Chains A and B, each alone.
Chain A
Amino acid sequence: QKEVEQDPGPLSVPEGAIVSLNCTYSNSAFQYFMWYRQYSRKGPELLMYTYSSGNKEDGRFTAQVDKSSKYISLFIRDSQPSDSATYLCAMSATQAGTALIFGKGTTLSVSS
């Protein structure tokens, strides 16, 4: 079993839809959880950063962490064509200086 599992998609939705992206993980020591957005041929951009369980909201984006289920989610409300990108979940067990474990990424396409 891989440490982090993420459905690669592709996921296609119409503009305005609510998008749900998910990752599961096996290492119960993970405490830091991140979501990155990567446009084609660009470096990943940090969208959300969460420590431990709970929800975090930033504009149209909401990140949820359920450590008991080893499951994290990213919700995108009122999706826009500009949200079309690959979304990567990432996590780590310890603080700064340690490498992140990435999911494979989910490719999202939002049509207008």
Chain B
Amino acid sequence: GAVVSQHPSWVICKSGTSVKIECRSLDFQATTMFWYRQFPKQSLMLMATSNEGSKATYEQGVEKDKFLINHASLTLSTLTVTSAHPEDSSFYICSATPGRGGNEQFFGPGTRLTVL
């Protein structure tokens, strides 16, 4: 149990285009989902926290107009990177917490974004 999927697993796009990444909890309802960014050989950097039906809470320094997060249902959250630039190239990972009292977070496999 506690499986989180992400789609796509990798994407290459041209500078200036927008890219949408989906995060789904497959076998549980996720009251909260998190989006992280990870650079090579570095730890996870939290970008934002999203609760179903609410606006996402962004970490300091993360542009909310650039990284649009939608948590439309208890099993789906999306991250849209708008007007992507090469510096947005990174590994994006989502996680979800079942919210049944504990605080475990279950991570998706990640999406590698390359902006040309």
Q: Which residues of A contact B (CB under 8 A)?
A: 32, 34, 36, 41-46, 49, 51, 88, 90, 92, 94-100, 102-105
Q: How far is the CA of A96 from the CA of B103 in the complex (A)?
A: 4
Q: How far is the CB of B113 from chain A (nearest CB, A)?
A: 13
Q: How far is the CB of B90 from chain A (nearest CB, A)?
A: 12
| Chain B residues with CB under 8 A of A104 | 42-43
Q: Which residues of B contact A (CB under 8 A)?
A: 2, 4, 6, 31-32, 34, 42-44, 46, 49, 51, 91, 93, 95, 97-110, 112
Q: A42-B109, A96-B31, A99-B34 are in contact. Are A32 and B44 (CB under 8 A)?
A: no
Partner pick for B103 among A43, A92, A102, CB 8 A cutoff: A92
Q: A32-B103, A96-B32, A97-B32 are in contact. Are A44 and B44 (CB under 8 A)?
A: yes
| Chain A residues with CB under 8 A of B49 | 97, 99
Q: A100-B105, A102-B44, A104-B43 are in contact. Are A44 and B99 (CB under 8 A)?
A: no
Q: A104-B42, A104-B43 are in contact. Are A97 and B31 (CB under 8 A)?
A: yes
Q: How far is the CB of A42 from chain B (nearest CB, A)?
A: 6
Q: How far is the CB of A54 from chain B (nearest CB, A)?
A: 15
Partner pick for A95 among B4, B44, B102, CB 8 A cutoff: B102
12 A-B residue pairs with CB within 8 Å: A32-B103, A41-B110, A43-B6, A46-B2, A49-B104, A88-B44, A90-B105, A95-B103, A96-B102, A98-B103, A99-B46, A100-B105
Q: How far is the CA of A103 from the CA of B44 in the complex (A)?
A: 9
| Chain B residues with CB under 8 A of A90 | 105
B43 touches A97 (CB 8 A): no
